[in-house]
Amino acid sequence: MRPADAAVEPLDAAEAAHLVAAIAEAGDRQAFARLFAFYAPRLKSFLSRQGFGASDCDDLIQDTMLTVWRKAGQFDAEAGAVSTWMFTICRNLGIDRRRRQGRRLKNDLPPMSDIDPSPSAEGEIISRENESRVRRALDQLPSEQAAVISLSFFSQSPQTEIAKSLGIPLGTVKSRVRLAMNRLRQLLDEPS
């Protein structure tokens, strides 16, 4: 049970795609509010697991949502889910921010001149078939393995966190992750 969910209705893939379409076609602020209510708190969970502090999180959530608003017309529901699109946008903005911070650490001044800061993956074509296979595989995965995958995916120090959350020695984490990943891989490869 996740009590924080009570305030926000779950959002299924079809509805999310409609909301993005409504933003693209009519600049629908209600639709934007609904997307924000569902995704912003989850983006925050993603970003804080990535090690971003509170103010970085707030900036990156805003920038992700503003990108959704501006680029809604480029979203192609045939090519993938809204969640994947938003994940990719947020991840790219996070990488971009980290790069700029790294540059400052290294040089003390940020010459933002020469390198295109954002990876191009936003435009990646993911088929619907990809999406539904992944969803099905995640649903079939034992919950402990799903948790291991989520932690190893999102966390900045996955090994320590996995050891803590499963109550297992640090030395055995790698093999747990490998097992979970292999199981996921098998499920992904199974014909539907």
Task: Determine contact, residues 121/128, Cβ cutoff 8 Å.
Answer: no
Alpha helix segments (H runs only) across 51-156: 54-71, 82-107, 128-140, 143-154
Whichever of 143 and 167 has its CB closer to other proteins, that residue is 143
Query: Which of 93, 94, 82, 3 minimizes the C-alpha distance to 35?
Result: 82
Whichever of 21 and 99 has its CB closer to other proteins, that residue is 99
Least Å distance between CB 67 and other proteins? 9
Least Å distance between CB 131 and other proteins? 5
Whichever of 20 and 85 has its CB closer to other proteins, that residue is 85
The C-alpha atoms of residue 106 and residue 133 are separated, in whole angstroms, by 42
For residue 143, the SS3 value is: helix
Least Å distance between CB 13 and other proteins? 9
Least Å distance between CB 83 and other proteins? 4
Segment holding 165, helix H or strand E: helix 158-166
Whichever of 123 and 167 has its CB closer to other proteins, that residue is 123
